Amino acid sequence: MWLTRPPPDLLPFLLGFFVLSGQIFAAVSLDKLEKGQNLTDGQTLVSSGLGSYTLGFFSPGKSTKRYLGIWFTVSNDTVYWVANRDRPIDGNSGVLLLNDGGSLVLLDGARRPVWSANFLASSAAVVQLLDTGNLVVRNGSSIAYLWQSFDQPTDTLLPDMRMGKILWNGDELYIQAWRSDDDPSPGDYRRVLTTEGLPELVLWRGGAKIYRTGPWNGKLFNGVPEAANYSNMYPLHVTISETERTYGYKAMPYAPLTRVVVNHTGFVERLVWDKSSRAWHQFFIGPGEPCDSYARCGPFGLCDPAAAAKSYCGCLTGFSVASPLEAALKNFTGGCRRNVALDCVAGAMTTDKFAVIRGVKLPDTLNASVDKVITMDECEQRCSANCSCVAYAAADINSTGCVIWTDDIVDVRYDPPGQDLYVRLAKAEFAETKPESKRSLTVPIFTPVAAVVIAFILIGFCAWAVWWRKKIRIVHIPEDPEMGVRSVNLATIKSITAKFSENRFIGEGGFSKVYKGESSDGRMFAVKRLKPSALTIEGKKYFAREVAVMAGLRHNNLLRLLAYCNEGDERILIYTYMENGSLNSHIFGTHCPILIQLKYIADT
């Protein structure tokens, strides 16, 4: 099964030993194979530099079959690339061979090829596992690659990989889930960059769309606003050029290991390695809530995450449920119908107007037409002048460019800050509008919007803090901030948490543990206690900052900071207690780079 190998911390030491002793090392390089060399089952290549990645043979889950794969050295059950996905090897007789002719082949016990890297064989070839996790074949000292594993993704996208279309050779790169935990062969789910309309990432199950991220808006995917929380560590980019239409991301030098994986249960996740807890933390999951499921509310429907009572479904302004009976049975796939017919005849002036729906994930742009150059005013005119146009929107976040929809509008949801969608409606729909005031939206969205605005203030603060820390190393932050939040003593906290007893323990993140607190009059609190490992000088400063920021925020939908404790080596925050599951994500702040920074500080 898994190979026994030295723990990663020993590697530099061992490397040093080999170099010093001046042997073995010269004979067998740890990260590459030269022509004529081979790698048998039990041997591994480890990437040079930090040694983050390891190539070797493995058996997944309960399977006894052998596969050649690459995994994270710190987490050897996290295999991100498999060579022979659907051609397993029986027994431990597999061998990866860079043969004399310069081809890279994987042979089974009977010396039959089960996999080979597709490139023009070169007698000068060298195969090497780079510290990006990329397995490459090079021609001698040339830096150009004859072949690279990054061009043959399995189910995982690492930093510097890309997915999408490579136009010069016609390749389509995408990630596809394993069939099960025990079987890495291609499963039902795959994640693809769609390049018709605006670029966006779509999760497919066979031939059915399951979930889309919303279009790329120049900075992130419109339906994944939370990417703003980590895009300073892992900047995303979409490349549209003559040679490729691709999506990828980078990792900043200080950033922890990360991966984006599509798993066999039908979810895409971004995971980040937390050194201190030695576990993967989830930064993103999609689909993440009911409104994420593709076209849930049908054509011209509008999904509202806050409208659970209505099965989340409503209609765009100016539309009503097409089949009230079906809707009563909570089936909204029939979507919505226009209330008042449009007034549009080709060549004649129209009286139609546009209603704006703010803060949404834009509809599927598959059949939409996109013009990256024209302004929003021109976009409105173009839509107005074309009787097939039912809606338009800006093509990117700077309100430039134009997307025009001419058939059904599907898969719209509230997703603040989102984008604005302009829907064409008959003049009569605006009749009762008071002068100067915009017609209100059909679904009340004030509360979630407010919550999200506050969340974004927080995110903005986080981003600012990270920037600030990078920019100016010495920042004066008072150790014990003065603020409108009460300081309480440790004894009080011990009494409400029964001395941090196990049965009060709710959960933990990389830097803190959270307990349920209960006062003598029965009120509940969430008590967040920083772990000793997070209590560096910098860690304490960031604690002070979290107190300062959270103290200023008051909102019903937000966890509220009630008090803090700063006594000796204890740093504790007391929050309002929320019964539902949202507590964890709020309190562990997995969405806040400050805590990542904290973690990073704590780790170094």
Query: Contact positions toward ligand NAG, by CB under 6 A?
Result: 38, 95, 97, 346, 364, 366-367, 369, 386, 388-389, 404, 406-408, 410
Amino acid identity, residue 405?
A: W
- Pairing, β 236-240 against β 135-139: unpaired
Q: Check whether 427 is labelled as a binding-site residue.
A: no
Nearer to ligand NAG, 193 or 459 (CB): 193
Nearer to ligand NAG, 406 or 576 (CB): 406
The residues, any chain, with a CB within 8 Å of residue 446's CB and separated by 6 or more, are: none
Distance CA 558, CA 257 (A): 30
Amino acid identity, residue 267?
A: F
| Least Å from the CB of residue 407 to ligand NAG | 5
Torsions phi, psi for 349 (to 5 deg)? -70, 140
Q: Which helix H or strand E contains 551, and what residues bound it? A: helix 537-551
Q: Which two tokens stand for residue 378?
A: 């021109």
Using alpha carbons, select from 70, 114, 112 the residue that is nearest to residue 88.
114
Q: Which helix H or strand E contains 327, and what residues bound it? A: helix 324-328
| Least Å from the CB of residue 214 to ligand NAG | 13
The count of C-alpha atoms lying within 13 angstroms of the C-alpha of 548, restricted to the half-sphere facing its C-beta, is 15
| Least Å from the CB of residue 344 to ligand NAG | 11
**Cβ contact 91:99 at 8 Å:** no
| Least Å from the CB of residue 24 to ligand NAG | 14
Nearer to ligand NAG, 36 or 140 (CB): 36
Using alpha carbons, select from 53, 42, 45 the residue that is nearest to residue 4.
42
Nearer to ligand NAG, 122 or 194 (CB): 194
| Least Å from the CB of residue 271 to ligand NAG | 30
Nearer to ligand NAG, 201 or 463 (CB): 201
**Cβ contact 422:416 at 8 Å:** no
Question: Any idea how long the chain is?
Answer: 604
**Cβ contact 559:526 at 8 Å:** yes
| Least Å from the CB of residue 395 to ligand NAG | 13
Nearer to ligand NAG, 404 or 526 (CB): 404
| Least Å from the CB of residue 331 to ligand NAG | 19
| Least Å from the CB of residue 106 to ligand NAG | 11
Nearer to ligand NAG, 95 or 268 (CB): 95
- 3-state secondary structure string, 53-110? EEEEEECCCCCCCEEEEEEECCEEEEEEEECCCCCCECCCCCEEEECCCCCEEEECCC
Nearer to ligand NAG, 22 or 347 (CB): 347
Using alpha carbons, select from 207, 210, 255 the residue that is nearest to residue 229.
255
Distance CA 493, CA 529 (A): 10
Amino acid identity, residue 106?
A: L
| Least Å from the CB of residue 41 to ligand NAG | 11
> Strand runs (DSSP E) across 332-477, as ranges?
336-338, 353-361, 369-371, 391-393, 402-405, 413-414, 419-425
Distance CA 515, CA 96 (A): 51
Distance CA 387, CA 270 (A): 42
Nearer to ligand NAG, 394 or 527 (CB): 394
**Cβ contact 89:59 at 8 Å:** no
The residues, any chain, with a CB within 8 Å of residue 20's CB and separated by 6 or more, are: none
Nearer to ligand NAG, 37 or 185 (CB): 37
| Least Å from the CB of residue 451 to ligand NAG | 30
Residue list for the binding site for ATP: 528
Residue list for the binding site: 528
